[in-house]
Amino acid sequence: MAESTQSLLKRLIDLVEAQSLDIQALRNEVRALKSTPPPAIMRAIIEPDMGLEYMGLYLDLDAKTWAAIKDGAHVTVKGHGYIDGQGVADPNDPNFRWDYWEFFGGIGQRLRVRVRFINDPEMKDPEDDAFDSNLRWADVQEYSAK
């Protein structure tokens, strides 16, 4: 009986040592996961080629909106405003236009950009389609939100 007790004790010790190695390996994996930084939250600038008439018109999207668009959501966003190739858009400028961006899904899906003149009441058609085609990766610049 002494031999079977010693044999049982040896098997038990081997089992505990093996479990200790498994536990140490799991601890190392958890440490590695804790030290891995979370993925960067990406924002995006969308700037499709709209020809000379609307050169420089772009949209800077926050991370949440950009993620929704990439996931295929139908999203409409009012832009920052536009004045023929100038820097800061001033809503009091007679040439000022609001820009509206409608995403019909993500990359490879339809994107429609409309501009609306607001300071010329005599204008026959105050709205213009600046872009109506598919959104391409070439139109997108992703960057990290800080």
77 confidence band (pLDDT: 50, 70, 90): very high
For residues 53 and 30, state if they share a domain.
Answer: no
State the pLDDT at residue 120. 67
Task: Give the Cβ contact number of residue 12 at 10 Å.
Answer: 10
Do 23 and 52 have their domain in common? Answer: no
17 and 89 in a single domain? The answer is no
Domain holding 86, by residue range, is 42-144
Per-residue pLDDT, 84 = 76
**Total domains in the fold of the chain:** 2
Asked whether residue 125 carries a pLDDT value surpassing 60, the answer given is yes
Together in a domain, 12 and 75: no
Are 22 and 88 in a shared domain?
Answer: no
**Does 75 share its domain with 98?**
yes
Domain shared by 52 and 17, yes or no = no
* Higher-scoring residue by pLDDT: 138, 56: 138
pTM, two decimals, is 0.69
Average pLDDT score over residue span 55-83: 94
Extract the runs of DSSP E, i.e. beta strands, from 2-139: 42-46, 59-61, 74-78, 97-104, 110-117, 127-134
d(CA 1, CA 5): 6
Closest CA to 100 of 88, 83, 113: 113
Tell me the per-residue pLDDT of 5-62, one tens digit each, with 9 for 90 and over.
Answer: 888 888 888 888 888 888 888 888 888 888 777 777 899 999 999 988 888 899 999 9
Q: Is 112 helix (H, G, I), strand (E, B) or coil?
A: strand
